[in-house]
Amino acid sequence: MSQDYEMMTSQMNEHEDHIALISQIYPGFYTQIATHQGEPKPRRRRKKNKGGENSQCAVAKKRKLNQEQVTLLELNFGNEHKLESERKDRIASELGLDPRQVAVWFQNRRARWKNKKLEEEYSKLKSLHETVVLDKCRLESEVVKLKEQLSEAEKEILQLTERVDGVSSKSTSSSVLSMEAIDPVFHGEFGYEDVFYIGENNYVLGMEWMNLFM
């Protein structure tokens, strides 16, 4: 630890001591200043525990919970995430901890659990979104393909109609082939009834679905 750092931290501690003292004597003094300036309330800074004094050193050594304590706390958390007063006191005495420590541990554990859940939920939604986007792309390309097929079919119909028109204009008026004879094709309920007429035992490739309606 450098001397500069020591000096800096001691100055900071001194400053924080002043703030703490002023806050004790005049509660809300600093928050009032901030409110007047229209800024968010500054949070009071905690004093650093450098472990210099005996009592502070003892606290510092207590900080980290041992494996047994953590295991038992995890076990209790697994049973129930909330902590009633009785349970808190019981766990605290079992582990030789302050009930406040148990409460804090549960609070932090709930926060960690919540974060983990959120991360899981996020990755689930992300992968779901990716599959939906892929599906959308697939469907869009299918629509394009079907539109192309439709336009091809329309061209073909047009060509056939023109050919039939040519034949009928060449023939005499007494011809057996009148437009009515050719066109019954469009006389169905929806105008296209016979376009797709297929003999009972006939099969058109790619039109399997038509059989459902016949």
Binding residues for DNA (CB under 7 A):
2, 16, 31, 41, 43-51, 60, 62-65, 70, 82-85, 100-101, 103-112, 114
Strand segments, DSSP code E, in 88-153 are none
Residues contacting residue 95 through CB under 8 Å, at least 6 positions apart: 68, 69, 72, 73, 102
Least distance CB 94 / DNA (angstroms): 15
Up-side HSE of residue 48: CA atoms within 13 Å toward CB? 11
Residue closer to DNA by CB (options 50, 90) is 50
Residue closer to DNA, measured from CB, 16 or 90: 16
Closest to DNA by CB, 70 vs 185, is 70
Of the two residues 29 and 203, which places its CB atom closer to DNA in the complex? 29
CA dist 205 and 214 (Å) reads: 16
CB-wise, 90 or 110, nearer to DNA?
110
Contact 65, 73 (CB under 8 A): yes
Q: How many CA atoms lie within 13 A of 51 on its CB side?
A: 7
**Smallest gap from residue 190 Cβ to DNA (A):** 59
Residue 67 structure tokens: 């494996």
* Least distance to DNA, CB of residue 130, Å: 25
C-alpha to C-alpha distance for 153 and 24, rounded to whole angstroms: 87
Cβ-based nearer residue to DNA, 78 or 166 = 78
Residue at token pair 């990716």: 130
Closest contact distance (angstroms) between CB of 89 and DNA is: 9
The rounded Cα 21 to chain-centroid distance in angstroms is 47
Rounded CA-CA distance 92/98 in Å is: 6
CB 136 within 8 A of CB 144: no
State the minimum distance, in angstroms, from the CB of residue 136 to DNA: 34
CB of 83 to DNA, least distance (A): 5
